[in-house]
């Protein structure tokens, strides 16, 4: 693994961690929507994954530079 690849992986982990910290407030604002967040904190909100991916292409944002999550308003609790 190159230094550039390691840095990209670390940046993605930081972004994923930020998304986890903000997931509750984002779910409150955008329930049952898809959200993509980039390193600058920019959000792209859509009703479907296809909308999110199309918006990324339209804005010239690389898929590997964002974290995408579905903000489920009422998640089903699973007991395993």
Q: What is the mean pLDDT of the chain?
A: 92
The ranges assigned to domains in the chain are 3-71
* C-beta atoms surrounding 2 within 10 Å: 7
* C-beta atoms surrounding 39 within 10 Å: 13
Q: 32-70, pLDDT tens digit by residue?
A: 999 999 988 899 999 999 999 999 999 999 888 899 999
Which pLDDT band holds residue 25 (cuts at 50, 70, 90)? Answer: very high
Residues forming beta bridges with residue 68, ordered by sequence position: 36
- Kindly tell me the sign of the dihedral angle through the C-alpha atoms of 2, 35, 16, 59: positive
* pTM over the 0.85 mark: no
């Amino acid at each position: 693994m190159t230094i550039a690849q390691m840095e990209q992986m670390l940046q993605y982990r930081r972004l994923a961690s930020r998304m986890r910290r903000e997931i509750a407030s984002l779910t409150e604002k955008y329930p049952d929507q898809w959200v993509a967040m980039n390193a600058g904190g920019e959000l792209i909100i859509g009703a479907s994954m296809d909308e999110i991916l199309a918006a990324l292409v339209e804005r010239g944002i690389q898929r590997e530079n964002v974290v995408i999550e579905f903000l489920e308003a009422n998640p089903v609790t699973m007991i395993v």
